[in-house]
Structure 1
Amino acid sequence: MSTQPSPASSAEPSTAADWATALTPRLAHFVAVARHEHVTRAAYDLGVPQSTLSRSLSRLEADLGVALLARHGRTVSLTPAGRTFLASAERALAAVEQAAESVRSDADPATGKVAFGFLHTLGWETVPSLIRAFRAEHPRVRFALVQNYGAAMLERLRAGELDLCLTSPVPDAADLVARRLDEQRLSLVVPDDHPLAARRRVRLAEVAGEPFVTLEPGYGMRRILESLCAEAGFRPRIAFEGEEAETIRGLVAAGLGVALLPPPAIARPGVHELTVTAPRAVREIGLAWSAGRPDTAPVAAFKEFLLSRRGRLLG
């Protein structure tokens, strides 16, 4: 091996991406030779022909434009540039090995990870119950849990940050796959001292003149409220907006308006919940995932588990 690099070819890398593409396959070769200080032993250790290893090292030096190794008989030693490059090459390979181990671990059928998103209103009881039931058969599968409103979860799904999410309304988009799992009845929530508090049922049109407390635009429940009010023949007058259903109930209890909400996790003092008889007030709960993205074994198992609970997701 020459101690000087051969002239760079006309295809010399010109961008960071080009450099990474050119250098990455040769880093392991260089590190092995540097550790053994012997090309033949390094080739044997790597399981590649010595000629292949020698060509790889020559091309690496040509790309960099510096000599990394000096030959001494049958052995080699690092040049000053080679010592500098070795430290960075070892860090780069360690990072790749760590990343590979991480993705292998996440995909492991027994101990892998599922990134799972769900609505805040499903976090108190529904999701913990689902995970408990699933882990009865898959006790070592890990979960990264994300609570958010529907539109934000779908964006994270598209970005690859989530594997699956429970959301409402059920999305209809070409880049997503969605399956309806269940529906949840919605109630009109009024303060305890409201004239309707003595009743059990109400038509939504009866509160057309009332101020509404609701979730912010972008939340599925906000779209459902506006759609149901339009079906009842009016546009809701929004008095207050919030980000969380139980906060909305607190605002109703304070007499700041009425609200249309899914059932509470626990009974909230200061409010009364009425069944809405017209229009039919429900929200569909669906499971969504990215179209065309392959599932790891733990994701596939959890998806199958959730789909098997169609019609009884909410207990």
Structure 2
Amino acid sequence: MNIVLDAYLDNNLGDDLMIKILVKHFPQHEFFLYSNSSAVKNTFHGIENITVKRIAERKLDFKKADAYVTIGGSRFQLVSLKQKFWRLNRLKQLSRLKRQKIKIATIGSNFGPFSGKFAVKLAEWELRKNDLVTVRDKEAADFLHQFKNVDNYHLADDIVYNLDSIYSRNYPQKSGLGISAYRSIRAPEYNFENYKYLAALADQYIRKTRKTVKLFAFDSENENDVVAALHIYDLAEEKDSYEIIPYLGAEEHFLQEFEACERIVAIRFHSAVLADIFEIPFLPVAYSNKMSNFLNDRGYAGPVTELKDMNRDLCVDTLAETIINGGELFSDFTYDHHNASVHFDELEKILNSK
């Protein structure tokens, strides 16, 4: 079966893991991704059932496609006029695919933010055209519940909880702090204050523990967390105790280094998911509803720091002690008690249906 795959392609670890896990689960199918970036193409080089093609080729490929699958969270943000106009054009495309009898699925999603009732209506119109929708948090499931004509939807833990299909854990001796460096392209006015605060926080951790700090850059293209990591390092005083770990398309080394941390400051959503998988206590830092929903679904009642509040008004010493002591951090780990396989189980039913 030929499957056109729609995903966020930015050398972003979380999104790339979802793609790699998906195609590993369905080796009998051929998947097609579309990007003009040679760096993105290199990320998926060597995976037998994935072909990365130029964006201009997608329209022609739809003529021979059997299914169209959109994967990943944050694919339904409808705030600006540009986003709404783009969604209208997408609706026209989905209508054409429907007429061609191509199966349509959206998996691993969450929703929002939205601006106005029309934005919500656009999301509803698109979701009604799907044969399957799977979501990763309860807020998203509740959002779908309001739509009478969207009925084949399922709530399941994030797709990355299926990580063991592509990565074998090492169970290393854990030591030091990992920080998910983050460069916001939506609220850049806060970035430098965040960098200064994280450098001060990491320096304080190093002075109190004499352990290393790893700065993890989850995205290395347009969003470019590598720049955030470099700024934090440049602002730091204890430079000899820092490492920068960038994700450049190959996940093995990145995950090994992440798994070896004993504490995590989780800013990127998938840094929280990975900390949960690897059973690492973490301090959640929220910049969108993704993190908040994840924590609410797990009944977490500990400290949550808003990214925009990570500035000189937030006491560095107190937060460093919270991280070191660990008692208030997220540590109610999922272990193997997740249902992330539901995304693929339900997708398989759709792909196999007549």
TM-score, length-scaled by structure 1? 0.28
Greater RCO (Cα-Cα under 8 Å, separation 6 or more): 1
**Given the two structures, how large is their TM-score scaled by the length of structure 2?**
0.26
Larger Rg: 1
Structure with greater strand percent: 1
